[in-house]
Amino acid sequence: MATTVIPFGPQHPVLPEPVHLTLKVEDEIVKEAIPALGYVHRGLEKLADIRDFHQMINVCERVCGICSMIHGTCYSESIEELMGIEVTDRAKLLRVIWSELHRSHSHLLWLGLFADAFGFESLFMQFWKVRERIMDINEATTGSRVIVSVNVIGGVRADLSPEQIRWILSEIEIVEKEVKAIQDTIMNDYTVKSRTVGVGVMTKEQAWELGAAGPTLRGSGVAQDMRQQGYGGYSFLDFEPVVETAGDCWARSTVRFREVLQSIDLVRQAIAKLPEGELAVKIKGNPPEGEVYHRVEQPRGECVYYIRGNGTKNLDRLRIRTPTFANIPPLLAMLPECELADVPVIVLSIDPCISCTER
């Protein structure tokens, strides 16, 4: 059988992420996939040399727009750990509220794109319509829809008033109702299942060995979520990771769908336990010499920050390992032996974010 080489990306009608894959195909069956990154590489880690550690929050938030809040939280918590700063409980729980709103709008965005990838455009529009309510909450409470920029070293810069809290609770109740109304379509519809069940299967052992992260890991039956560590405000909340065992595209989409409802529950829990207190503690001096390794759970999975302080306003080293970077080797294991028509669905099933990968 002759081998055909098909270049997939970096610009492709069904893949809104600039990743390039060289696909070696025989009779419309993919035999090998080789990635090429670097199309949008920005070298943001290098900026730690010339931006002071306060300014770097804004840089970290721009690693990725969709999970900007969680990048900012991870960076802030890393610096706070290095400097020995204890953030107030109110600030910790406010970070959780905005982080979970980010997770739910990220998953709703992805669910829409996923539906679009297998040609279900009305489902795509339904998910994005629901997502707009979350974006409105972000805009009303922080001033921005996507990059909310509420983190500062030592806490947060924005607060929620009692009126805003009541409004958020009523909005997320509507979101929950509207999401549940779509549940049967994304999880049980024949056309959705025919494009996702048994497609891009990755076993539990493969997921573990290849270092998969987030819903890609949990969709293969591994119950691991960094929120289990109880970092920040998560130590106050009841939480169990969402797990599916099939390891296919359907399982990964189901994990994300159920995590939207879980995020709504976590927002409610955080609001119920929100104490009075200062928003941020005052910071004196620069980060001391030392190193910190900190992990958080982003919508796409485990995100790792490694920082080294040297006593000056600049960091010696800032290293960011984003979840999509971890999920590319698993993707290379999922693609061989799949049909060419399933490539966009499988690639999208890891929720690729090349902006994160090429920070």
Partner 1 sequence: MQGKVIDVTLDTVVGEVMNMKNDGQRLVTFSTYQEGDKIGILYHFDKNLETTHLRLLADMDKPIPSVSGVYFAALLVENEIRDQWNVEFDGLVLDFNRTLLLDPEVTQVPLVSNVKIEPKK
Total residues found in the chain within this entry: 359
Q: Tell me which stretch binds partner 1 (CB under 8 A): 61-69, 141-149, 270-278, 291-299.
A: 291-299
| Residue 7 sits in the site that holds partner 1 (CB under 8 A) | no
| Residue 5 sits in the site that holds partner 1 (CB under 8 A) | no
Span 97-136, contacts to partner 1 by CB under 8 A: none
Amino acid identity for residue 33 in this structure: A
> Which one among 291, 311, 312, 341 touches partner 1, defined by CB under 8 A?
291
> Which one among 70, 74, 326, 353 touches partner 1, defined by CB under 8 A?
326
| Residue 356 sits in the site that holds partner 1 (CB under 8 A) | no
Query: What is the closest distance, in whole angstroms, from the C-beta atom of residue 290 to partner 1 in the complex?
Result: 8
With H, G, I as helix, E, B as strand and everything else as coil, classify residue 214.
coil
Span 153-212, contacts to partner 1 by CB under 8 A: 208-211
Sign of CA dihedral 24, 27, 28, 30: negative
Q: In sequence order, what E strands does the chain have?
A: 4-8, 20-26, 29-36, 151-152, 155-156, 290-298, 301-309, 315-321
Cβ–Cβ under 8 Å, residues 96 and 234: yes
DSSP labels for 251-289? HHHHHHHHHHHHHHHHHHHHHHT-----SB----S---S
Assigned token pair, 329: 């080797």
| Residue 24 sits in the site that holds partner 1 (CB under 8 A) | no
Nearer to partner 1, 203 or 293 (CB): 293
Query: What is the closest distance, in whole angstroms, from the C-beta atom of residue 252 to partner 1 in the complex?
Result: 18
Q: Which residue has the tokens 């965005």?
A: 109
Q: Tell me which stretch binds partner 1 (CB under 8 A): 37-45, 176-184, 281-289, 335-343.
A: 37-45
> DSSP state, 201?
-
| Residue 312 sits in the site that holds partner 1 (CB under 8 A) | no
d(CA 27, CA 4): 8
> Which one among 12, 292, 313, 340 touches partner 1, defined by CB under 8 A?
292
**Interface contacts to partner 1, rule CB under 8 A:** 34, 36-38, 41, 43, 45-46, 208-211, 224, 226, 228-229, 290-295, 302, 304, 306, 308, 316-317, 319, 321, 325-326, 328-330, 333, 358
